[in-house]
Structure 1
Amino acid sequence: MTAVNQELIAQRLNLSRATVSRSLANHHAISAETRRRVQEMAEKLGYQMSPGRVGRRGKNSRALTIGVLIGIPAEKVEMATFPYILRGIQARAEIEHVTIDVCYQAPADFHPETGRQPVIRNMRQGNWRGTILIYPFAEKAVEAISQRVSTVAVLESYNQPGIDIIDTDDASAMVALVERLAEAGHERIGFLSWHYPIGGHWVARRFSGYVEALFLRGLPFRPEWVLNVDKNSPRLSPTQVADAVAKRVRDDHVTAWVCAADHQAYQLVHDLPLRGLRVPEDVSITGFDGLDPAAGQKRITSMRVPHEQIGSAAVTRLVNRIQHPTAPRRKILVEAELVAGETIAPPVRA
């Protein structure tokens, strides 16, 4: 029986043994196409790399720099979760003896498939051995990145093979929020999000948990009680979202709203009193992320996501992916914890 080793892979592809070895290590000096061919052949033949050491890298390990690409616009972003994720990344990177290079990039202006943006130059020149993606980027952009370096995505899923995912169990968390509203007596519950240039999948996943909870409880679902989810519906600004919520509260007696994120919920709590509605006396609001309120604001009832632990896990997963690029893709889901805020009350009966 022929041994399945790197020499056999080299013979099958008419490559040198050194090229195969470097391709399996995801070395930047080997073209993405060659690495792909080698890794596909290794998988086809059932080649198993030596597991080596997993986890913490020693002080004398070879220098390793990873990029952290944060998908936010250039302007200041309030009520963002990335600082907590970044804190976890930085803490774990120190333990792993890894250098991180943090870049901020508006997703709508990011086109690495052209090969001309600075991020791609860092990858091509070997400055980055891997990348952690925070927040959604376009699929084409993610494909271009993952073809060059090992990639781990945080709080977003992609269709590209080989990208590891560290994410929240969104659906079960949303079920818990709707359950809390239902226990308070709410039967007409709406769902809303904001419109983003690169929307990603996170809103859809949280929406699916909302729908699941309604059906489990036997509560009514109405498409007109859902804002900024259906791609065929008009895209509403935050101000228009508040107007639409106020209209549904008055016309349809929708007494509670589940927001896809805390920053949306806090803005809504600010905007509704300007439209004559009190929170939670007239309408109950929930968010998602567990962020602290600004001074003078009520705390949103929400699901607290362990962002620091997610950031730490992303570094560990990326180091393992760099060491073992042909290992099966992994998707790790973490649970969120209910935060009992001040924005739920029993509904006012019509």
Structure 2
Amino acid sequence: MAKINQQLIAKELGISRATVSRCFTNHPGINPKTRAKVFALASRMGYTHAEKREPAAHQRTRSTLAFGVLVCVDLPNFDRTGYGNPGQELLNGLSEVARVQNVRLDLHFVRPEDLHIDGPSYEKIISEGRKLWDGVVLIYPFPQSIVDELKSTFPVVSLVEQYGRTPLDCVDVDHHRGIERLVEHLHKQGHERIGFFTWRYPVEASWALRRYGAFVEMMTARGLVIDPADTINVSPREVLELPQAHARVRERIKAGTTAWVCAADHQAFDLLLDLKKHGVKVPQQVSVVGFDGLAPPRGALRLTTVEIPFHQIGVTGGKRLLDLINKRFDSEQHILLNCDLRKGETVAKPKKPRAKAKG
């Protein structure tokens, strides 16, 4: 097995060894996107660049700040998709701020199933991070217990995930505005029977419930009826695995539901594949919208969605953590960025039901 070093990282990414080295020393000439990709690959490969570069704790100067960046995801799921990678875009924005402010990023992937910071994927990095980190950035949903334990030790900023039970600084998208634009677009096309679809995740996805809450408000404001059978995986009392959830969508289409709001683009892409597999035509028979603004998989329809400014969220999150480090007990802030509707090929006017022939 090849030794994990900067040369191997450079080979995997198709860049020079010098470029990799400069990424780890905050060289101003390195593109933030390249820097973020190097950090992400180094963490996945287990290359401990921070330990090699950092002096002992008692020798450390305070001239350079360090952010611990924790990504809560099973590694194969971070960049295995055939569509856009939100996590990488968040890292790109964070890397941009770090380069300008001469901040070192110490990136680690942790497992969703670990519920405490003494768990297997946290134990080593947290014990070392306490000596080195000035603050922590969280990417993707974390168990509430982890959030509480980290916040007791570090200034913490969460990107695209709000935690209701813990006062925590967060930079997120305006879920309410995004769902409003999707429902308004469908309603203007003539849709009245609109469903809401989401998945169940290992860690509670509060963002999906937040979007569902906005969906209920927008539908109610327009006088549209929400059939409980058209809301899939929003209640813990009825959890459907993906095949069953897709089957429920097909049943409801037969029952007259003409459009579906998916809580995320990746959910919509999978739903579109299932509908195609079973001969349901989009948008001729049913309209589908998502939420994120990801590029579609090769050969897929362009999804009607709202675009989350992931890069700008990373930038804003980095700036907010710098503020917290300088003012440790500042009041918590939720910073919500705007999102824009992006029309695609998955929405059309609903077909009028055929009139029954007179006997």
Instruction: Report the TM range for the smaller structure's normalisation.
Output: 0.7 to 0.9
Comparing 154-163 and 137-146, the one that deviates more? 154-163
Structure 1 match to 2:63: 62
Q: Distance in 1 between matches of 2:63 and 2:115?
A: 31
Q: So what's the TM-score if we normalise by structure 1?
A: 0.79
Q: Deviations over 1:316-350 (max 9, x none)?
A: 00011011011111110111111011100111222
Q: What does residue 319 of structure 1 align with?
A: 322
Instruction: Give 2:221's aligned residue.
Output: 216
Equivalent residue for 2:41? none
Give the number of equivalent residue pairs. 288
TM-score by length of 2: 0.77
Q: 2:95 aligns with which of 79, 90, 98?
A: 90
Aligned counterpart for 2:129 among listed residues 89, 113, 123: 123
User: Which residue is equivalent to 1:72?
Assistant: 73
Paired position in structure 2 for 1:342: 345
Using a 3 Å threshold, how does the CA distance of structure 1 residues 160 and 262 change in structure 2: closer, same or farther? Answer: same
Is contact 1:68-1:134 (8 Å) kept?
yes
* Amino acid corresponding to residue 352 of structure 2 in structure 1: R
Q: What secondary structure does 2:284 align onto?
A: coil
1:69: Cα distance to partner? 0.9
**Pairing of 1:160-175 with structure 2 (within 5 A):** 161=166, 163-175=168-180
Determine if the alignment matches structure 1 residue 269 to structure 2 residue 275. Answer: no
Distance 2:148 2:125 in 1: 14
Query: How much has 1:74 moved relative to structure 2?
Result: 2.4
Q: CA deviation at 1:299?
A: 1.0
Q: Deviations over 1:168-224 (max 9, x none)?
A: 110121011011001111110000111101023101110011111111111111111
Q: Secondary structure at the match of 2:336?
A: strand
Q: Work out whether 1:227 is the aligned partner of 2:228.
A: no
Report if aligned partners of 2:135, 2:325 keep a CA contact under 8 Å in 1. Answer: yes
Cα displacement (A) at 1:113: 5.6
Q: Do residues 255 (structure 1) and 258 (structure 2) align?
A: yes
Task: Determine the C-alpha separation between the residues in 2 that align with 1:117 and 1:244.
Answer: 42
Whole-Å Cα distance in 2 between the matches of residues 232 and 295 of structure 1? Answer: 36
Deviation at 1:76, TM superposition (A): 3.3
What displacement does 1:71 show? 1.4
How far apart in 1 are the matches of 2:259 and 2:164? 34
Q: Which amino acid aligns with 2:346?
A: T
Q: Secondary structure at the match of 1:174?
A: helix
Could you tell me which of 264, 287, 291 is aligned with 1:288? 291
| Alpha-carbon contact 1:178-1:214 (below 8 Å) kept | yes
Q: Deviations over 1:119-176 (max 9, x none)?
A: 321333x121111111111111100111111100111111465521101110121011
Q: Which amino acid aligns with 2:268?
A: A
Question: Which of the residues 191, 197, 200 maps onto 2:202?
Answer: 197
Displacement after TM superposition at 1:295 (Å): 1.5
Contact 1:113-1:140 within 8 A present in 2 as well: no
Q: Distance in 2 between matches of 1:99 and 1:323?
A: 16
Which residue of the partner structure matches residue 187 of structure 1? Answer: 192
Cα distance in 2 for partners of 1:179, 1:267 equals 24
Which residue of structure 1 lines up, in the alignment, with residue 306 of structure 2? 303
- 2:149 aligned residue (144, 147, 166): 144
CA contact (8 A) 1:288 1:304 kept: yes
The answer (yes or no) to whether the contact 1:161–1:329 under 8 Å persists in 2 is: no
The CA distance in 1 between the partners of 2:139 and 2:197, in whole Å, is: 22
Structure 2 residue runs of 5 or longer lacking an equivalent are 1-60, 354-359
Give 1:244's match in structure 2, choosing from 237, 243, 248.
Answer: 248
State the identity as a percent: 35
2:115–2:145 Cα contact (<8 Å) kept: no
On the 8 A contact 1:123/1:149 being kept in 2, the answer is: no
SS of 1:109 mapped into structure 2: coil
Higher mean C-alpha deviation, range 252-261 or range 153-162: 153-162
Structure-2 separation of matches of 1:105 and 1:349: 50
Q: 1:160 to 1:67 in 2, by over 3 A?
A: farther
Separation (CA, whole Å) in 2 of partners of 1:167 and 1:287: 17
